[in-house]
Structure 1
Amino acid sequence: MIHAENSFTGKIAIVTGGAKGIGKNIAETFALHGAQVAILDKDETAGIQTVASLPGNGHLFITADATRREDLEMFASRVLEEYGAVDYLVNNACVSHGGLESRCSYDDFLDVLKVGVAAPYLLTLLFRDAFNSGGAIVNISSTRSVMSQADTESYTAAKGGISALTHGMAMSLASRGIRVNGISPGWIDTGAFGPLSHIDHKQHPAGRAGTPDDISSLVLFLCSPQASFITGENVTADGGMSRRMIYHGDEGWTYTPA
C-alpha cells in the first residue's frame, strides 16, 4: 500500500509505451503521486496528448521507435539531459505480430523481441549508472508467458523473455541497490479489444476482467519503499485465471479454458 499521496514527489519515472492503455495509466498514476514522468512511445499524437494531460509539471514525451537502437539511445540521452538521474524504469512497451497461423515473418518476429526484450535490456544498460538510491525497475510481462492461445508466438516469446530477463537483471543490479521485478497481467480492459464484459467468472475466479488501475497500483507498490525486500519476482495479476482448474469429466482436469 502507498501510504501518502506525495510519496513519489520529486522522483523521476520512465514509462515506455506510455501513450495509451496500461502504460498511459501507469504514467498518470505516477504523476498523481507527485513524480515527474518521461514517456517513450511511437504514437506521437497520443503521446503529446497524454503528457499534456498529466497532473503536475516537468513531464517529458519523446517519440521513439523501440526497435531502433539509435532511438533508444537518443531517448536515454534526452531523459538524462532533462533530469540528470532517474528513479524508476517501467518497461511496458510491447507489440504482437501473431505467429505461425498468420505466418508471422522472421523480421516481424524479431521486431517483437526487439521491443519486448532487447529494448528493456538496452534501456536498463543506458540508465544503469544514473539511478538514484532506492531505484527500481518494473518489467510488464503477461500471463502469455506461461499460457498461450493459437497464433500468439511472437508476443508469447517476448513475454517469456522479459520474465526471464527480470530475474537476471535483479541479480546483476543487486550490488547497485536497484530492485527489478515483473508483473504478468491477464485480461486488462483498456478498450483496445472492445468491451471485456464477457471475460468474467468463467475465466476469472475474481469475477471480472482487470483494469489498468489494477496494474498501476501494483507498479507503484513495487517501486515504493514498502517493497524494499522484493526483487527478482514476477507478480501475476490476472484474477486467478492462470490458476483456475476446469473439470472435463472423463477427460480429467485442465488449466484455464482457451
Structure 2
Amino acid sequence: MSAQNQIVLVTGAGNGIGRSVAVAYARDGATVILVDKNAEELEGTAEMIVAEGLLQPISRVLDLSEPASIEACFEELARSVGRLDVLINNAGFGIWKSVYELTIEEWDRVIHTNLRGTFVCAREAARMMKQSGNGGAIVNISSTRAIMSEPNSEAYAASKGGILSLTHALAVSLGPDRICVNAISPGWIETGDYDKLRPDDHLQHPAQRVGKPDDIARACLYLTDPRNDFVTGANIVIDGGMTRKMIYLE
C-alpha cells in the first residue's frame, strides 16, 4: 500500500482516529489536508507531522454542521490545491442522553454534523475528483453502533446507520466517475491511555485486545490504494470480533 503523491483530506483530524489516520497518510508519502473545528487540536496534529520531517500538511478550521462553510472550504481548496485524491470522512460526535430527554436541537446537531456533513464533504470532494479525471476514493467512518446499540444512543446510531446507506448509494452513483466509496465501522477503539485498560477490557474481545486508532488507519490505506479499486460500496467492520460474539448473562 502506498499513498505516495496522493492528496488526502481527513476530517476530524485534530485528535483520536482522525489524527492517527492523518499521520499514517503523511508517513506514507501523501500531502495531507487536515480539517477540524478545533484550531488548537488541528495545530497539534500538524506539529506531529512536521516533527517527523514529513510533508507539510495543509490545515483548515471547519465546522461540518455548516454546509455553506464546507462548500466554501472545498471551493478554496480547488483553487489553491487543485485536486483531491482521497477523502476520509471521519469527523463526528454523539450525545448520550435518554430518548425522553433528547431535544430536537440536540438530535439535529448530531445528524447535521455526522450524516449531513459526511454527505456534503463527499459531494464536494467528488466534484474535485471528477474534475481531475483521475477518479478517487472516499472512506466514510461509520460505527458498529450502526448495526447494534447501547441505550440512549439514538441520534448517534441513526447518523452512523445513515452513513452506511449513504456509502453504498454514493458508490453506485460515483462509480462511472471512477470514485470508490467505502465505509469502516470501528468498534471499541481506545483513543486515550491504552495502558490504563483492564485485562477484562481486552479479553472480552475475540481478538484478545481493544482496538487502536492505527487499526483504522491501516484499513483506510488499503481502501484508498488505487490498486484496490474493485472494492467499493463495502463496509469493513473492525471491532475485534465483538459484533460476532454471542453474549449471555450468567
TM-score w.r.t. structure 1 length? 0.89
Displaced runs of 4+ in structure 1, greater than 3 A? Answer: 192-198
Q: Which runs of 5+ in 2 are unaligned?
A: none
Q: Name the CA distance, whole Å, in 2 between partners of 1:192 and 1:56.
A: 25
Q: Name the CA distance, whole Å, in 1 between partners of 2:70 and 2:143.
A: 23
Give the structure 1 partner of residue 216 of structure 2: 215
Give the structure 2 partner of residue 125 of structure 1: 123
* Alpha-carbon offset, residue 101 of structure 1: 4.8
Is 1:31 matched with 2:26?
A: yes
Query: CA offsets per residue over residues 231-251 of structure 1, 9 Å max, x none?
Result: 0000000000000013458xx
Q: Name the CA distance, whole Å, in 2 between partners of 1:159 and 1:195.
A: 28
Give the structure 1 partner of residue 95 of structure 2: 97
Query: CA offsets per residue over residues 166-199 of structure 1, 9 Å max, x none?
Result: 0000000000000000000000010189944342
Q: Name the CA distance, whole Å, in 1 between partners of 2:141 and 2:54.
A: 25
Question: Aligned partner of 1:199: which letter?
Answer: D
> Which deviates more, 82-91 or 224-233?
224-233
Q: Name the CA distance, whole Å, in 1 between partners of 2:207 and 2:193.
A: 21
- CA 1:108–1:248 in structure 2 vs 1: closer, same or farther (change >3 Å)? closer
* Alpha-carbon offset, residue 226 of structure 1: 3.6
Question: How many residues matched?
Answer: 243
Instruction: Tell me, yes or no, if the aligned pair for 1:21 and 1:192 is still in contact at 8 Å.
Output: no
Give the structure 2 partner of residue 255 of structure 1: none
Give the structure 2 partner of residue 166 of structure 1: 167
Give the structure 1 partner of residue 106 of structure 2: 108
Query: CA offsets per residue over residues 128-173 of structure 1, 9 Å max, x none?
Result: 2211424100000000001111111111111101011000000000
Query: CA offsets per residue over residues 202-235 of structure 1, 9 Å max, x none?
Result: 2x10001100010000000000134221100000
Q: Name the CA distance, whole Å, in 1 between partners of 2:219 and 2:42.
A: 23
User: Could you say which structure has the higher helix fraction?
Assistant: 2
Cα RMSD after superposing both structures:
1.8
Instruction: Tell me, yes or no, if the aligned pair for 1:112 and 1:158 is still in contact at 8 Å.
Output: yes
Instruction: Tell me, yes or no, if the aligned pair for 1:90 and 1:139 is still in contact at 8 Å.
Output: yes
Instruction: Tell me, yes or no, if the aligned pair for 1:51 and 1:61 is still in contact at 8 Å.
Output: yes
% identity of equivalent residues: 36
* Alpha-carbon offset, residue 117 of structure 1: 0.9
